[in-house]
Amino acid sequence: MQHAIELDALRSEVGAAAGPMANAVSACVHCGFCLPACPTYIELGEEMDSPRGRIVLMKEVLEGGLDLEEALGHIDPCLGCMSCVTACPSGVEYGELLMPFRELAEGGRNRSWLDRFWRGLMLDTLASPSRLRRMLRLGRLAAPFRGLLSGLLPARFAAPLDLLPRSADRAEVASGTFPAVGERRARVALLAGCAQQVLAPRIHRATIEVLTRSGVEVVVPEEESCCGSLAFHAGDGRRARTAAGSLLRVLGSAGLLPDVDAVLTNAAGCGSGLKEYGLLFAGRPEEEAARTLAAKVRDVSTFLAALDGPAPPPLAQPLRVVYHDACHLAHAQRERTAPRRLLAQVRGVTLVEPRDWQICCGSAGIYNLEEPELAARLGRRKAEALLEGEPDVIATGNIGCLTQIESHLRRLDSAVPVRHTMEVLASAHGAGYPAPAR
């Protein structure tokens, strides 16, 4: 069974995004390969909570045959993890339907003032390092009362308390140029972003350590912050384009793009969003610049694996590593090989594959703040699966996954650390983090 949607009518609603949306609808043959790959279908067991069910719902809403509010009860719980894209034999680009639909839905749905306030607060706080620092300080003051507050507050208001990192890392990475160690083999821009720069700046320090020791000169741009991916994946196109437009201007005014071999990110969600800039700006004046940037974006693991540099020194002690695939790297960017290859090169590392690698941990941008109950079920499932591998450390390539998994390991009374792939690699180098050369 295949469906089609009338393109001219759709174009009047979503503009240049109409073509990709219509292609996604018509490509789906409803074979069902996506069902066992979909976290919400696994948890809820309802056809309309599966990718093929949601495709039908979105088509019906777009054609006027179904009220938007009726469909949102099934579409909102979608994580946007793109596991269905990996599983699909027909090549359905589900994200090219879901992302524009979510933006369209935001303009037509009935959110309460409290819902709008909470959602805006989350997106604006996570996108602003200064706001996030203030929120973290407040959160740590409230931390001793976490149990009491979790019992008193609705789940979505209490969820951030469980996700707060237990220790503060205030050594944020400065902008500037970090020279290559030895002969320079490449020059890259590294986007420091927003939330990760505050929650775990050690990841940036480790990334720069590994890159520079691999012969890569690293430029961290000045005045660069959020790329807009969190807002885009949440359906807030206005906030996403404001942030993305600012990033395009910063990179453009610095003249970086023609002067670097790649623009790197070490957060899978950001990398995925950056590569979708063409969709975000489709039909707008910024589209050409957006597509130019998107074409240069690489995940740091992809870039390093292609560079094929020397293996890191051996570890002082053997390390059993269970690797968690971030959905926005494995599914959205179709990259599973590079991080495994890099980890396997470290002598002393035993790399262990977890069960259900394709199933999301429940982080998914701000999903664990908007849908905390379902996110918690997925988080526990993921933490248990990872612990079955008896790891010394769990490695991943995304800050959202890292904080989500850490939170659920704590609930399981596990002290197993969760680290970014670059941190594991940097540990082999002794993690003597460099300073920029001004």
Quick: pLDDT tens for 248-275.
Answer: 999 988 788 899 999 999 999 999 999 9
Query: 359 in a domain, yes or no?
Result: yes
**Each residue's pLDDT tens digit, 363-383:** 999 999 899 999 999 999 999
- With a CB cutoff of 8 Å and minimum separation 6, the contacts of 36 are 42, 87
The yes-or-no verdict on residue 188 having pLDDT over 60 is yes
Instruction: With respect to residue 434, please indicate whether it lies within any of the assigned structural domains.
Output: no
Residue 437 maps to a domain: no
Q: Is the pLDDT reported for residue 165 higher than 80?
A: no
Helix (H, G, I), strand (E, B) or coil at 354: coil
363 and 402: one domain?
yes
- Domain with 138, as residue range(s), is 113-163
Residue 331 lies in a domain: yes
Give the chain's length: 438
**90, 108, 126 - which closes a domain:** 108
212 part of a folded domain: yes
Report, as an integer, the average pLDDT of 50-55.
97
pLDDT in tens, 54-83: 999 999 999 889 999 999 999 999 999 999
Domain shared by 263 and 194, yes or no: yes
Q: Is residue 438 part of a domain?
A: no
Same domain flag for 282 and 193: yes
pLDDT of residue 284: 94
SS3 of residue 365 by DSSP: coil
CATH code at position 423 = 3.40.50
SS3 121: helix
Q: Say if residue 277 is in the same domain as residue 379.
A: no
Quick one: how far is CA 104 from the chain centroid? 22
Looking at the domain assignment, is residue 1 inside a domain?
A: no
In this prediction, residue 47 has a pLDDT band, given cuts at 50, 70 and 90, of: very high
8 Å CB contact between 177 and 437: yes
Structure confidence by residue, pLDDT tens digits, 403-432: 999 999 999 999 999 999 999 999 887 754
Q: Is residue 75 part of a domain?
A: yes
- Give the CATH number for residue 81: 1.10.1060.10
28, 94: one domain:
yes
- pLDDT confidence tier of residue 156, bands split at 50, 70 and 90: low
Claim to verify: residue 26 and residue 101 sit in the same structural domain: yes
- The confidence band for 6, taking pLDDT boundaries of 50, 70 and 90, is low
Bridge partners of 393, per DSSP, are 321
3-state helix, strand and coil shares in percent for the chain, rounded to the nearest 5: 55, 10, 35
Residues 184 and 295 in one domain: yes
**Looking at 289, 305, 321, which one is the last position of a domain?**
305
Same domain, 316 and 219: no
Domain identity same for 396 and 368: yes
The string of pLDDT tens digits covering residues 271-290 is 999 999 999 999 999 999 99
Strand order of the β-sheet with 216-220 is: 176-178, 216-220, 186-190, 262-265, 297-299
104 and 125 housed in the same domain: no
Contact between 321 and 343 (Cβ < 8 Å): yes
Neighbours of 107 (CB within 10 A): 11
> Are 211 and 245 within one domain?
yes
HSE toward the beta carbon, residue 325, CA cutoff 13 A: 25
Q: What is the mean pLDDT of the chain?
A: 90
Q: Which residue(s) pair with 186 in the sheet?
A: 216
Please tell me the predicted confidence (pLDDT) of residue 152: 63
The total domain count for the chain is 4
Among 257-261, 325-329, 336-340, whose mean pLDDT is lowest? 257-261
Within this chain, do residues 193 and 152 fall inside the same structural domain, yes or no?
no
- Write out the E strands in 311-410: 319-323, 349-352, 393-396
pTM of the model: 0.92
What distance lies between CA 295 and its chain's CA centroid?
18
Read off the DSSP letter of residue 437. B
* pLDDT computed for residue 421 by the predictor: 97
